[in-house]
Amino acid sequence: MCGLLGLICATESDAVNAREAVNAAMRCQRHRGPDEQDTWADGEVVYGFNRLAFIDLEHSHQPLHWGPPEAPGRYTLNFNGEIYNFQELRAELEERFGAKFDTEGDGEAIVAAYHYLGADAVKKLRGMFAFLIWDSQEKLVYGARDPFGIKPLYYAQGPGGIAFSSEKKSLLELSSTLGVEEKLDRTALQHYLVLQYVPEPESLHAAIRRLESGTSFTVKPGGTPELTRYFHPQFTAKTGDRGEALYERIADVLQDSVAKHMISDPDVTVGAFLSGGIDSTATATLAKRHNPNLIAFTTGFEREGYSEVDVAAESAAAIGVKHVVRTVTSAEMMEVLPLIVWYLDDPVADPALVPLWFIAREARKHVKAVLSGEGADELFGGYTIYNEPISLAPFEKVPGSVRKLIGKVSTKIPEGTRGKDLLRRGSLSLEDRYYGNARIFRDDQLRGVLKTFTEGVGFKDVTAPWYEVSKDWDPVARMQHVDLYTWLRGDILVKADKVTMANSLELRVPFLDAEVFKVAASIPLEEKLANGTTKYALRRALEKIIPAHVLNRRKLGFPVPIRHWLRTDMYEWARGIITDSQTDELFDKAAVFRLLEEHRAGTLDHSRRLWALLVFMLWHGIFIEHRIKPEIPEPVYPVKL
């Protein structure tokens, strides 16, 4: 797990002059890899790298050079992530092609696979990754990002060349070198205010994009990247196992995935995040089999109904692991939020990322990596909203003209009235109503707040391509498919990567594994939603693995008490952010203040909309106004146990 930067200049002379700029740009992502830092240049290419070492600590330094016997050093790798099947891949390459390796790490396996297998090599990689390979013979860079988007990769192109980086901040540092403007993307802003995150491939800076998950590319100096999507997930369970045979397959593949995700040097300790749900409990329970001294980490709040600490403590005791708890207060959230927004690069209005930052910081005192349960809901059908096609099925039998009338009637019902949203959503098709788990501003709400609101810009810009691919699938599979490309990679994995790496902590996600996905994609609808629960097949598979008290527990979803705090503890803080923000050309400040006052009075619950606005205003103050300057702490290191 590391931070990388690669600058591909138009000419060799440009590269010579840019090396110091790359070195400086790496400093703002030193938290991603505090163990080592290096820069390297060859021809038109300049690499910068920060290493967080896990495997082959004394070797496998990066940038990493490799080549076949006839062309030693032909390739140079910049790689962020972990390849969990690298040992098997190295053995295959040795047997089939006689490949030779100088290290014991996973990096050489990537480069050798690319040399012998070409672009298809990326399909062989089981892990999380973003990498760049410079081929000095062909004078091109080949790069790729993992299938689910666990690891980030930003890029920007201008007259000075093209640059790729694990952090957008580094590209902003190179803006003058590249010759690009630091201009706000107002379309991306509108998407953010609807979705609570900036969808790929956008960023809030118009000149900076993200390589999408499951995508590879090639680019030559002076050229434009040629992008290729290599991962095409399909939830099409037309044939496959059912019942006990399916549950055994799920249990077996999860045990195998967790075992591979525990890989590290003997001197590196891997722990686990533990909530009150089945996903993190399963990863912690299985991880304990490989690390008898496993430490589990939980965060929560003192307010009743907003903490899973008690359930997690019961789970920790049942599986026999040491348990570390970090409780977070409203004062701590207000103090640290600007710093977290700096780490995020783009705003994510998910309040859960704040307590995650605190528990990641606590975990880094003890371990260097943690396992977590992200991805289980998307793969196995875990969100309660996946039941919506069932609850709204009666509307499907109503003629289209009547459904439209129902939709018009719903607009006349006052906000906050029970049943209003049911009627509104029932009047819509799946494509028109579902765009992920977070729905912040509707268009009618946003028009009164966002001065730059553009008609025709909406969530369908993001979801339509994924609905088109899945048009013949069942509605729940289509929702899962949309979530893979929106909610998972836009919110869940962004906060998981950014907040843990902010604390120089590697987060590993065993559910988001190629082999696990193959099994999950084969699960039929009746095995996802059954007996009034979600993730039915997964729960059955875990019956003999996890403690009984969490097996059928209702998903809490890690709520954060901002609804209460924005009426009390956080009210003046929120007013101050709105007042100080220099965003008058973007927002109707009077309308924003009305939202705050209505929320404080209890008239309506505007907490999520307010949080989205507040997070953006902090982001704007940091990256556009340059008025807010968080104090960036030095990377933390674990204590000796």
Q: Of the residues 207, 229, 251, which one is the last residue of a structural domain? A: 229
The whole-number pLDDT of residue 548 equals 87
> 416 with 354, same domain?
no
The residue-averaged pLDDT of 574-598 equals 98
**Contacts with 86 (C-beta within 8 Å, 6 or more apart), sequence order:** 105, 106, 109, 110, 127
Residue 437: pLDDT band by 50, 70, 90 thresholds? confident
Give me the pLDDT at residue 639, please: 46
Q: Residue 59 pLDDT more than 90? A: no
- Residue 218 pLDDT exceeds 70: yes
Per 3-state DSSP, the chain is made up of helix, strand and coil in percentages (nearest 5) of 45, 15, 40
Using alpha carbons, select from 405, 444, 441, 443 the residue that is nearest to residue 423. 405
Domain count along the chain: 4
37 in a structural domain: yes
Nearest Cα neighbor of 177 from 189, 163, 164 is 163
Residue 137 has pLDDT above 70, yes or no: yes
Rounded average pLDDT over 311-317: 92
The owner of tokens 């992200």 is: 374
- 525 & 541 share domain: yes
Res 314: pLDDT = 92
Element (H, E) at 126: none
Q: What is the mean pLDDT of residues 262-267?
A: 74
Domain membership of residue 585 (yes or no) is: yes
Least confident of 50-54, 114-118, 182-186, 291-295: 50-54
The verdict on residue 629 lying in a domain is no
Residue 94 is which amino acid?
A: E
- Residue 261 CA, chain-centre distance (Å), reads 18
pLDDT at 57 over 60: no
Whether residue 32 sits in one domain with residue 173: yes
152 lies in the same domain as 269? no
Same domain? For 147 and 198 the reply is: yes
Q: What mean pLDDT is predicted for residues 386-411? A: 84
Over 50: is that where the pLDDT of 417 sits? yes
pLDDT tier for residue 119 given thresholds of 50, 70 and 90: very high
Least confident of 237-251, 342-356, 536-550: 237-251
Query: What DSSP designation does 199 have?
Result: P
pLDDT digits (tens, 9 = 90+) for 351-366: 999 999 999 999 999 9
* 578 and 545 co-located in one domain: no
The mean pLDDT of 407-427, rounded to a whole number, is: 83
Last residue of one domain, picked from the residues 551, 574, 594: 551
Is 28 an annotated catalytic residue?
no
Nearest Cα to Cα of residue 1 among 26, 44, 34 = 34
Mean of all residue pLDDT scores within the chain: 92
Same domain, 253 and 319: yes
Beta strands in 232-302 (DSSP E): 270-273, 295-300
Give one word for 196, left, alpha or beta, with left for phi > 0 and alpha for psi -120 to 50. Answer: left
Q: Binding site for ATP: what residues are annotated?
A: 372-373
- We report the CATH number of the domain holding residue 512 as 3.40.50.620
Per-residue confidence (pLDDT) for residue 123, from 0 to 100: 96
CATH number at residue 180: 3.60.20.10
Per-residue confidence at 38, pLDDT binned at 50, 70, 90? confident
- What pLDDT is recorded for position 394? 84
Within-domain flag for 217: yes
Annotated binding site for L-glutamine: 106
Q: Verify cis geometry, omega within 30 degrees of 0, for the bond prior to 638.
A: no
pLDDT of 267 strictly over 80: no
As given in the structure block, the two tokens for residue 323 are: 């348990």
Per-residue confidence (pLDDT) for residue 263, from 0 to 100: 84
* Catalytic residue from among 1, 2, 353, 509: 2
pLDDT at 71 over 70: yes
- Say whether pLDDT at 595 is over 80: yes
pLDDT (average), residues 285-290: 95
- Asked whether residue 393 falls in the same domain as residue 539, the answer is no
Considering the domain boundaries, does residue 593 fall inside one? Answer: yes
Q: Are residues 19 and 149 in the same domain?
A: yes
Model confidence at 248, pLDDT cuts 50, 70, 90, reads very high
Would 557 be classed as within a structural domain?
Answer: no
Q: Which domain holds residue 79?
A: 2-229
- As a whole number, mean pLDDT of residues 91-112 equals 93
Q: Calculate the CA 110 to chain-centre distance.
A: 23
Asked if 529 and 578 sit in the same domain, the reply is no
Residue 640 confidence (pLDDT): 41
pLDDT band of residue 638 (cuts 50, 70, 90) is low
Q: Please compute the mean of the pLDDT values over residues 64-79 and round it to a whole number.
A: 94
159 and 222 housed in the same domain: yes
Angle at 438 between CA 432 and CA 444, to 5 degrees: 55
Kindly state whether residues 493 and 410 are assigned to the same domain. no
- Kindly state whether residue 414 falls inside one of the protein's structural domains: yes
In a domain, 446, yes or no: yes
- Boundary (domain end) residue, out of 447, 481, 515: 481
Number of residues that make up the chain: 641
* pLDDT reported for residue 641: 37
